[in-house]
Amino acid sequence: MKHYLIVIFCLIISIPSTAQSDSWFYLTARDSTVEVPFVKEGNYLKYTGNNSRLKSVFENYKISEFKKTYRRAKKEDLDATFFVIADNSFLLEDLLQTSGGLFKRGEIIPDEQKKIFEPNDYGLTSTIGGNEGFAANLDYLDFLGLPEAWYYTTGDSRTIIGISDGAIDTTNIDLKDKTKIFHKSPDVDGHGTSVAAIAAAQGDNGYGIPGVCYDCAIYGTTYGRFRTFEILQELSKAGAKVINCSWVGSYNTPEVQDEVNEMFARGTILVAAAGNRGWERNKGEMSYFPASYDNVISVSSVNYKYENIEDNILKSDNNKFYIENIRGYVGRTGGFKNNDITQAVSTYPVSVTTLNKDVDILAPSNGQLRFTHSIKEGKPVYITIEATSPAAPLVSGTIGLMFSLYPCLPVTEVESILKMTSTNIDHIEANKPFAGKYGAGMLHTGRAVKMVFDMFAEKGPVTIENQSFNRWNFKLTSHAEVILQNQTFKDDASLNLTSKKGITIGKNTVLKPNAKGKIHLQIDPTLQKECELQLRDPSIMKD
């Protein structure tokens, strides 16, 4: 077998977008009272309203979808945003110009962003999917890129996600036909049921909400046995590809580390919540387990909802201005210097979940739907605090999707893919006091699953970009060309990258490890796939 160590120079590569016949766009009405009624006639919609201007416009187009959605809607426009599919993009311009002020702006959706799939129970942000389950705002799944991930896979019943937690309600419609319980666990206010639902609640069944890996199976067991991981070993030996542990403690032993290593060697990845002890108590110095064991992916929480600070400035009872749930901030809340909203924001340490050097990645918690409580109360109930228990199963579900798409994915490369495709948050000033303690950044399920597809589809390049790493050991084996751009591996970081077709070092890429790090780039044209991609729709290969 021949291997080649390579030196690479910058290249500029353009990738053509996929042609699409229909036009998709968002349309924002002047206020929430605007309704645009249609009825289905054959494959298209017919306008049934009384507005003569709209009627004359709609008569010139074939419209497949015209519905209200929360997707991409600003806070003030949640009930005034529409998603539209029509045969021509000129419809958007016509509506803005001739509707008499009913609509104030619109946005054409690029062809590449049409590569999505949504189930029929996707809630209030659904576009091409439905809202037959809970009328819930699942915008955190949009933020994670779940529709983009589901384009490739919605999971596979042969992919098993282990849940070590409180009792799981196996009578619930979203869980009953897919869950096997190994050891009964006490009910902890629905904690186990909710964690299982986040990871893998059944989707596209017209009920509840979809979990991340909604066609994956669930193995459930009890939790909190710190002196031995026998209960986790049982799930691993039964075939679980990932086991979620949304529980923490301080007890740890070398013997349990050996058990973790044994499960990892068997092909099982442990994902664990980092803990909820705020920064004001541990200052990033305390480790908790199982999250801080080697070969465990430690997950803490991050915020996602509002893109800019000014989108959610609130006022407390004592007239203090503060921000909450700002995208990329590790703290749920923060205040302004001198109570002046034009000044810098400082994070309230009490609103930060456990951060330490062992944290690998962040995922949202504040704003997530509380599955069990929503069922009990008969209406959507959302998490309003920072927490790591609901963040971890988002990562576990993502790993389930990755293995469902390519069952032969090396277990040693999963964490690298998650980190390489995460969203960097180092530039946020309010995060700088916590630097080095919040892992690689924010989970992005859509990019992680797409990277797996790109690695083995051999259709286009794998792109590693927009991150900066100064630690961790990264390993990636791609059957497609790999492009690195706007990417840094330095200091203690190591990169072991093998490609079957080539490696390109693009612009703004820095490969500068110190004595503890290492860069190894290799082309191996003899690489052979161990299995084939398992796509939701095989025709995707023709895109």
Active centre residues (catalytic): 165, 191, 389
Question: For residue 455, what are its two tokens?
Answer: 């690695």
Rounded distance between C-alpha atoms, residue 513 and residue 497, angstroms:
14
Rounded distance between C-alpha atoms, residue 504 and residue 482, angstroms:
6
Rounded distance between C-alpha atoms, residue 323 and residue 227, angstroms:
41
| Torsion over CA: 424, 242, 259, 496 (sign) | negative
Prior bond to 119 cis, omega within 30?
Answer: no
Cα 169 to the chain's mean position, in Å?
25
Which amino acid does the sequence have at 86?
A
Rounded distance between C-alpha atoms, residue 128 and residue 497, angstroms:
37
Rounded distance between C-alpha atoms, residue 263 and residue 280, angstroms:
35
Using alpha carbons, select from 223, 146, 132 the residue that is nearest to residue 448.
146
Number of helices (H) and strands (E), helices first, in the chain?
A: 12, 25
Using alpha carbons, select from 152, 81, 73, 157 the residue that is nearest to residue 117.
152
Per-residue burial over 139-151, b if 16 or more Cβ lie within 10 Å, else e, is bbbbbbbbbbbbb
Q: Compute CA distances 178 → 158, 184, 534, whole Å.
A: 11, 16, 20
Rounded distance between C-alpha atoms, residue 467 and residue 444, angstroms:
13
Q: How many residues does the chain have?
A: 543
Q: Compute CA distances 340 → 93, 312, 322, 367, whole Å.
A: 41, 15, 10, 26
Say which residues have a Cβ less than 8 Å from residue 411's Cβ, sequence separation at least 6: 264, 267, 268, 269
Rounded distance between C-alpha atoms, residue 112 and residue 89, angstroms:
16
Maximum CA pair distance of the chain?
Answer: 76
Which amino acid does the sequence have at 354?
T
Asked whether 329 and 387 are in contact (CB, 8 A), the reply is no
Helical pair 392-405 and 445-457, crossing angle rounded to 10 deg: 20
